[in-house]
Amino acid sequence: MPSDASLLSTTVRRRRRITSASSLHLILAIHSLLAVFSLCIDDQGRALLAWKQTLNSSTDALRSWNPSDLTPCRWAGVLCNAAGEVVEIALRSLDLQGSLPSNLRPLKSLRALTISATNISGSIPREFGDYTELRFLDLSKNQISGEISPELCKLRKLESLLLNSNAIRGAIPLDIGNLSSLVHLTLYDNNLAGEIPTSIGKLGKLQVFRAGGNQNLRGPLPAEIGNCISLVMLGLAETGISGSLPSSIGLLRRVQTIAIYTAFLSGPIPEEIKNCVELRNLYLYQNSLSGPIPPQLGKLRKLQNLLLWQNNLVGLIPPELGSCTDLLVLDLSVNLLTGSIPSSFGNLTSLQELQLSTNKLTGSIPLEISNCTAMIDLELDNNQLSGEIQLDFHRLAGLNLFFAWQNELTGGIPDSLTHCEGLQSLDLSYNSLSGPIPRQIFKLQNLTKLLLLSNELSGLLPPEVGNCTNLFRFRANGNRLAGMIPSEIGNLKYLNFLDLSDNRFVGPIPPAISECSSLEFLDLHSNSLSGSLPAVLPGSLQFVDVSNNMLTGPLSSGFSTLTALTKLVLRRNRLTGSIPAELGSCERLQLLDLGDNGFSDQIPPELGKLPALEISLNLSCNQLIGEIPSEFAGLGKLGCLDVSHNKLTGGLDVLAGLQNLVTLNISSNAFSGKLPDTPFFRKLPLSDLDGNNGLYIAGGVAAGGGAKAARSAVKLAMSVLVSISALLLLMAIYMLARARAGRRNSDDGDDSVWEVTLYQKLDLCLDDVVRSLTSANVVGTGSSGVVYKVTLRSGDTLAVKKMWSPSSGEEEVPGAFRNEIAALGSIRHRNITRLLGWGANRTTRLLFYSYHPNGSLSSFLHGAAGKRVADWETRYDIVLGLAHAVAYLHHDCVPPILHGDVKAMNVLLGPSFEPYLADFGLARPVTVSSDKDPRGSPRLAGSYGYMAPEHGSAQRITEKSDVYSYGVVLLEVLTGRHPLDPSLPCGKHLAQWVLDHWHGKGDPADVLDPRLRGRTDSQMQEIAQALALSVLCLSSRAGDRPTMKDVVALLVEIRRPVADVPKESGAAATVASSPPVRSFALQGSSNCSFALSDASC
> Over 60: is that where the pLDDT of 143 sits?
yes
Q: What mean pLDDT do residues 14-31 have?
A: 44
What is the SS3 assignment for 424? coil
Backbone angles phi, psi at 872, to 5 degrees: -65, -35
DSSP string, 828-857: --TTBPPEEEEEE-SS-EEEEEE--TT-BH
Q: What mean pLDDT do residues 492-502 have?
A: 95
Q: What mean pLDDT do residues 952-961 have?
A: 69
Q: What mean pLDDT do residues 459-471 have?
A: 94
Q: What mean pLDDT do residues 21-46 have?
A: 56
Given this model, what pLDDT does residue 898 score?
A: 87
Given this model, what pLDDT does residue 508 score?
A: 96
Given this model, what pLDDT does residue 376 score?
A: 93
Given this model, what pLDDT does residue 810 score?
A: 37
Q: Which amino acid is at 105?
A: R
Given this model, what pLDDT does residue 1075 score?
A: 29
* 768 torsion bin: left (phi>0), alpha (psi -120 to 50), beta (else): alpha
Could you report the per-residue pLDDT of 649-676, keeping only the tens digit for each?
999 999 999 888 888 999 999 999 999 9
> Over 80: is that where the pLDDT of 381 sits?
yes
Given this model, what pLDDT does residue 72 score?
A: 94
Domain 21-163 has CATH 3.40.50.300: no
Given this model, what pLDDT does residue 16 score?
A: 44
- 901 annotated active-site: yes
> Over 60: is that where the pLDDT of 726 sits?
no
CB atoms within 10 A of CB 317: 25
Could you report the per-residue pLDDT of 967-999, keeping only the tens digit for each?
999 999 999 888 887 778 877 889 889 988 888
Given this model, what pLDDT does residue 779 score?
A: 74
Q: What mean pLDDT do residues 420-428 have?
A: 94
Domain 852-1096 has CATH 1.10.1020.10: no
> Over 50: is that where the pLDDT of 816 sits?
yes
Query: Which of 248-252, 453-457, 999-1003, 1032-1036 is least confident?
Result: 999-1003
Could you report the per-residue pLDDT of 671-698, keeping only the tens digit for each?
999 999 888 888 888 888 999 988 887 6
Considering 901, 919, 962, 1009, which one is annotated as catalytic?
901
Please list the residues that pair with 88 across neighbouring strands.
79, 112
> Over 80: is that where the pLDDT of 701 sits?
no
Residues of the chain with CATH 3.80.10.10: 21-163
Q: 287 pLDDT band (50/70/90 cuts)? A: very high
* 200-204, 736-740, 866-870, 924-928: which is most confident: 200-204
Could you report the per-residue pLDDT of 887-934, keeping only the tens digit for each?
988 888 767 888 888 998 889 888 888 999 988 767 777 754 443 343
Helix axes 1017-1033, 959-975, angle to 10 degrees: 150
Contacts of 844 (CB under 8 A, 6+ apart): 751, 770, 802
Report the percentage of the chain scoring pLDDT > 70: 81
The answer to the question of whether 867 is labelled as a binding residue is no
Q: 801 pLDDT band (50/70/90 cuts)? A: confident
Q: What mean pLDDT do residues 304-326 have?
A: 95
Given this model, what pLDDT does residue 188 score?
A: 94
Dihedral of the CA atoms 1002, 1008, 1014, 1018 (nearest 10)?
Answer: -80
> Over 60: is that where the pLDDT of 721 sits?
no
Residues 32-64 as b or e (16 or more Cβ within 10 Å = b) = eeeeeeeeebbebbbbbbebbeebebeeebbee
Q: How far apart are CA 323 and CA 347, in angstroms?
A: 7
Given this model, what pLDDT does residue 888 score?
A: 87
Q: How far apart are CA 763 and CA 837, in angstroms?
A: 12
Q: What mean pLDDT do residues 398-417 have?
A: 95
Q: Taking a C-beta distance cutoff of 8 angstroms, is the pair 183, 162 a contact? A: no
Given this model, what pLDDT does residue 675 score?
A: 92
Given this model, what pLDDT does residue 824 score?
A: 66
Among residues 783, 792, 850, the alpha carbon closest in space to that of 817 is found at 783
Could you report the per-residue pLDDT of 1033-1068, keeping only the tens digit for each?
998 888 888 899 889 888 887 875 433 333 333 333
Report the percentage of the chain scoring pLDDT > 90: 57
> Over 70: is that where the pLDDT of 718 sits?
no
Among residues 836, 824, 854, the alpha carbon closest in space to that of 919 is found at 824
Q: What mean pLDDT do residues 818-838 have?
A: 75
Given this model, what pLDDT does residue 686 score?
A: 86
* 184 torsion bin: left (phi>0), alpha (psi -120 to 50), beta (else): beta
Given this model, what pLDDT does residue 1056 score?
A: 57
Residue 603 carries which DSSP code?
Answer: P
> Over 90: is that where the pLDDT of 333 sits?
yes
Q: What mean pLDDT do residues 512-541 have?
A: 94
More confident call, 359 vs 716 = 359
Q: What mean pLDDT do residues 38-50 have?
A: 83
What's the chain's average pLDDT? 83
Residues of the chain with CATH 1.10.510.10: 852-1096
Among residues 1075, 1082, 969, 1071, the alpha carbon closest in space to that of 1026 is found at 969
Q: 200 pLDDT band (50/70/90 cuts)? A: very high
Could you report the per-residue pLDDT of 89-141, keeping only the tens digit for each?
999 989 899 999 999 999 999 999 999 999 999 999 999 999 999 999 999 99
Q: Taking a C-beta distance cutoff of 8 angstroms, is the pair 789, 777 a contact? A: yes
pTM higher than 0.75 for the full model? no
Query: Which of 562-566, 708-712, 990-994 is least confident?
Result: 708-712
Given this model, what pLDDT does residue 728 score?
A: 57
Query: Which of 857-866, 942-951, 1016-1025 is least confident?
Result: 857-866
Given this model, what pLDDT does residue 615 score?
A: 82
Q: How many helices (H) and strands (E) does the chain have?
A: 12, 67
Query: Which of 280-294, 366-380, 626-640, 720-734 is least confident?
Result: 720-734
Given this model, what pLDDT does residue 309 score?
A: 92
Q: Taking a C-beta distance cutoff of 8 angstroms, is the pair 340, 361 a contact? A: yes
Burial label for 12, CB within 10 Å (0-12, 13-18, 19+), is exposed
